[in-house]
Amino acid sequence: MVLIPSGPFLMGSDSPDAIPTDGEGPVRSIEVSAFWIDVATVTNAEFAAFVRETGFITEAEEWGWSYVFDGYIHPDARQSIIDGTVPGAPWWRAVRDAAWNRPFGPGSTALDDHPVVHVSWNDANAYATWTGKRLPTEAEWEKAARGDLNQAPYPWGHDLTPNDEHHANIWQGPFPHTNTATDGYLTTAPSLSFPPNAYGLHNCSGNVWEWTADWWSTTWHHPNAPATRKNPSGPPTGQAKVIRGGSYMCHDSYCHRYRTSARTQNTPDSSTGHTGFRCAI
């Protein structure tokens, strides 16, 4: 873990790239007390230790299925596809027995140093509690991800590929048909891959979405909203939890959400093959 210093930062974005319906803007000054945060997302090896010690069963395992990107389903798991697709996102397929230790369905295995996926918010919260930590608030996550850069769109600066070097694992090529993997990875990358930001955090952009503690709202942090300007924690209740950072499936043609200010949501019992988490104290 690394210590993120206390103090204000400019949260959100007024950039033309900001997605209005996501509530990214307007930019507002938020003050956050000092906190510790994991330098990387929780790995399969770390989650496996939790499961071994506690006997924990994830929600995907309880339900008997989870969502896997169609193009990456393991050949042995094609017969495990459940009929139907997600409206508006037909590339997601429900696959029987897909889970954190079978990320692409039956026949696949989880790589120890890669981020754990197919974990719901409830699963992530249980792991964090077991370690004596917690999930970061959305404001904490964004401050840490920015790496002390003021309003830069990415954790490393303003250029997506400075000096033609990849700094994140995102979709390369026309989505959803061809991923050229020119960044080195077709699916997830190891949690400690790519250079860290100025605070020492890896993969705050791309690789896997990350659960935060906050309930989703598009207005809660805005200047006239009831949220405090210091250590905001989101609304007290909601239907979905905020996820941040984007994933290996993000592409600017349809989901330019690997930017530091970008945000989206999912229900706390949902699990997919591109969502993980990191912890804070």
- Name the E strands within 207-279: 209-215, 241-244, 263-266, 275-276
Query: What are the C-alpha distances in Å from 274 to residues 39, 80, 103, 170?
Result: 18, 19, 9, 11
Closest CA to 63 of 94, 107, 106: 94
Q: pLDDT tens digits for 29-56?
A: 999 999 999 999 999 999 999 999 999 9
Pairing of strands 275-276, 209-215: parallel
Q: pLDDT tens digits for 128-170?
A: 999 999 999 999 999 999 999 999 999 999 999 999 999 999 9
Work out the pLDDT band at 223, boundaries 50, 70, 90.
low
User: Residue 70 and residue 157: Cα distance in Å, rounded?
Assistant: 33
Looking at the chain, the whole-number percentage of residues with pLDDT higher than 70 is 97
The ranges assigned to domains in the chain are 1-281
Pairing of strands 241-244, 263-266: antiparallel
Does the pLDDT of residue 187 top 60, yes or no? yes
CATH T-level fold of 1-281: paralog of FGE (formylglycine-generating enzyme) (3.90.1580)
